[in-house]
C-alpha cells in the first residue's frame, strides 16, 4: 500500500491546459483507489465531479501528498501556504520553465504512478520569513520560497537602504533594490540580476543588488542561518516595496525596518527518481554540450 492515500490537487484555474491535466490526473488517481481532495479555487474550474473540496490550508491537514498542476508560480504559492503542515509537494509542469514542477503532462500516469509506488526522491527546501516594522510596530509580513525583494515600486527611482547581517553593518547602498534569495530562487529573479546558481541542497542565501550605483557592489553568498535587517533610507523620494516571491507586497516608509530570516518550517519537494538538477539547468537555461 502506498504511503500516500489522501492526495490533494491544486491547479492554475485560468489555464485550459491545466484543467485538462487535472481531469486526467483525477481520473487516474480515483481509478487507482486513492482519495482525491480538490483545492477550493481549483474545483471551480473542474466541472462534473464528485470529489471532496477543501481550502488550500486545510489540504495540509487532510492530505499525505499535494500535487500541483501548473508552473513554478503555482508551486510557490502552494509552498507558502502548506510548508507549516509538512505535507510534501509534487509538481506537474503546465508552465514555462518548470524548475520546480518537473513532470511533463505526457508523463502524468507513469511518473505519478512511480511516485505513489515509492519510487521517488525527496528534497528539503527552506523558506524565508519577512516582516516590516514602523516605529517599533508591525506593518506586515510574508513568506518566500524563492526570494524577498526590495524595489522602488511604482516609479523607477534609485533607493537607499542600510544592510545589516547578523547585527553587523554591511553597507549603505544606493541602487534599484536588493534580492535576498534562497538556493531555490537562485535560478529565478536572482539569476536575471546577475547572481550565481546555487545547488538546492546548499544551506546558503545570496544577496543580489539591483543595478547598484557603484560597480564594486557584487552579489554576496552567506550562510542560511543568517539574519538580515534592512533600514529604508529616510531621504528616499520613492516609497520602496518589499515582496515575497512577487506576492505579499508591502509599501514601506522611510525609516521602516525589514527583517528576514530562515523559516522554521521546511518544504519537502517530491521528484521522480530520474530527476537531475544539472540536467534541468541544461534544458531550461539552454546550456549546450557542444
- Pick out the residues of the known binding site: 72-73, 146-147, 157, 174, 176, 187-192
Could you list the active site residues?
A: 72
Residues 136, 124: contact at Cβ < 8 Å? no
Q: What residues are designated binding site for NAD(+)?
A: 72-73, 146-147, 157, 174, 176, 187-192
**For cell 506537474, what's the residue?**
92
- Return d(Cα 264, Cα 145) in angstroms, integer: 13
- Return d(Cα 175, Cα 161) in angstroms, integer: 9
**Nearest one of 89, 25, 91, 80 to 57, comparing CA atoms:** 80
Amino acid at each position: 500500500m502506498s504511503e500516500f492515500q489522501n492526495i490533494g490537487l491544486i491547479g492554475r484555474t485560468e489555464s485550459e491546459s491545466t484543467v485538462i491535466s487535472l481531469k486526467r490526473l483525477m481520473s487516474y488517481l480515483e481509478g487507482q483507489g486513492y482519495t482525491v481532495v480538490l483545492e477550493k479555487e481549483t474545483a471551480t474550474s473542474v466541472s462534473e465531479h464528485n470529489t471532496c473540496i477543501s481550502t488550500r490550508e486545510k489540504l495540509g491537514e487532510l492530505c499525505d501528498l499535494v500535487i500541483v498542476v501548473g508552473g513554478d508560480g503555482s508551486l510557490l504559492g502552494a509552498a507558502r501556504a502548506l510548508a507549516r503542515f509538512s505535507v510534501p509537494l509534487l509538481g506537474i509542469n503546465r508552465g514555462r520553465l518548470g524548475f520546480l514542477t518537473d513532470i511533463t503532462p505526457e508523463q502524468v500516469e507513469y511518473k505519478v504512478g512511480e511516485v505513489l509506488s515509492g519510487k521517488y526522491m525527496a528534497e528539503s527546501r527552506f523558506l524565508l520569513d519577512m516582516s516590516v516594522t514602523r516605529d517599533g510596530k508591525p506593518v506586515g509580513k510574508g513568506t518566500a520560497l524563492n526570494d524577498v525583494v526590495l524595489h522602488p515600486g511604482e516609479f523607477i527611482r534609485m533607493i537607499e537602504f542600510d544592510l545589516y547581517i547578523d547585527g553587523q553593518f554591511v553597507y549603505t547602498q544606493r541602487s534599484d533594490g536588493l534580492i535576498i534569495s534562497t538556493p531555490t530562487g537562485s535560478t529565478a529573479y536572482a539569476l536575471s540580476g546577475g547572481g550565481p546558481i546555487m545547488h538546492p541542497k546548499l544551506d546558503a542565501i545570496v544577496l543580489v543588488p539591483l543595478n547598484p550605483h557603484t560597480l564594486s557592489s557584487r552579489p554576496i553568498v552567506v550562510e542560511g542561518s543568517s539574519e538580515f535587517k534592512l533600514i529604508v533610507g529616510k531621504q528616499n523620494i520613492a516609497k520602496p516595496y518589499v515582496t515575497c516571491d512577487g506576492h505579499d507586497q508591502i509599501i514601506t516608509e522611510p525609516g521602516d525596518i525589514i527583517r528576514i530570516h530562515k523559516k522554521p518550517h521546511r518544504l519537502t519537494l517530491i521528484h521522480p527518481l530520474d530527476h537531475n538538477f544539472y540536467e534541468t539547468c541544461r534544458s531550461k537555461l539552454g546550456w549546450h554540450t557542444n
